[in-house]
Amino acid sequence: MTRIAYVDGAYLPFDQAGVHIEDRGYQFADGIYEVFALIDGQMLDVDAHLKRLELSLEKINLASPVSYSALLVILNETIRANNIRDGLVYMQITRGRAARNHAYPAVSQPVLSVTVRPINETHRRHVAETGIKVISTEDQRWKRCDIKSISLLPNVMAKQAAVEAGAQEAWMIDGEGFVTEGASTTAWIVDESGKLRTRPLANDILDGITRQMLLSLIDELQLELDETPFTIDEAYSSNEAFSTASSLIVMPIIEIDGHKVGNGKPGQITTQLLQNYKI
């Protein structure tokens, strides 16, 4: 079946979809994106993702080219056209076409694009059962990581370093030795006292949607939580560690920088959170 993409008002065969050479997203990474899971035909946490999209657009003074209701129609139609029930939906809004100039025009014509790709549910289950390996790397990103910008080069380099080291994710470390977040995930540990730890929200991390949902679940399960930064050394000695993201929800971590986490298997609390996450 031919893949279909939505680009700037049209549904197109995937190999024909594209934007203008002077689209500011292409030349300046001037845009915002969102990714969310599609599970059994249902868009997971879509309202929260679209709310975050709106907030990020506001922060860079960019308006959506379509209304909220129209966007939902476009998302559903793109999913339907691709006949995918389990997958990832990617959407982005750029400031659109303009003559190349660092300063953006007073009036822009934003461009919306949407793609959908299948995910391997067997792989998702395998990750949950076996866990992943993580490396640490210096956080070299800009100071507005709360904005879900399409400018991701430091994240790309961190993820590539992880792959080349035989790992699946990179946790980034700030100048004081504390973990900020993963290249594409939120970082969590269960410390030696049995308390869940994750960095508090600020401009140096993204307000992850899975993070939001997990905080509610942690409260519901009456688990102990401390939103305080933790060091990479604390991560090495933690009872459990995991990353969260829309793609794989909760990813148990069994090794960080070659240090075995806990007993080297997905931990009890991590597994409990994954099993109780409302999908």
Q: Which domains does the chain have, with CATH numbers?
A: 4-119 (3.30.470.10), 124-276 (3.20.10.10)
Is 161:40 a contact under the CB 8 Å cutoff? Answer: no
- DSSP-derived 3-state class of residue 256: strand
Closest C-alpha to 32, from 148, 166, 132: 148
Q: pLDDT tens digits, residue range 22-77?
A: 999 999 999 999 999 999 999 999 999 999 999 999 999 999 999 999 999 999 99
Instruction: Return the pLDDT at 229.
Output: 98
Catalytic amino acids?
148
- DSSP-derived 3-state class of residue 187: strand
Q: pLDDT tens digits, residue range 76-124?
A: 999 999 999 999 999 999 999 999 999 999 999 999 999 999 998 888 8
Handedness of CA 258, 262, 266, 269 (dihedral sign): negative
Phi and psi torsions of 166, nearest 5°:
80, 20
CA–CA gap between residue 3 and residue 116 (Å, rounded): 8
Q: pLDDT tens digits, residue range 182-235?
A: 999 999 999 999 999 999 999 999 999 999 999 999 999 999 999 999 999 999
Pairing outcome for strands 42-43 and 249-256: unpaired
229 contacts: CB under 8 Å, gap ≥ 6: 178, 179, 199, 200
Tokens 């929260």 map to which residue? 48
On the 0-12 / 13-18 / 19+ scale of CB atoms within 10 A, 96 is buried
> Model pTM?
0.95
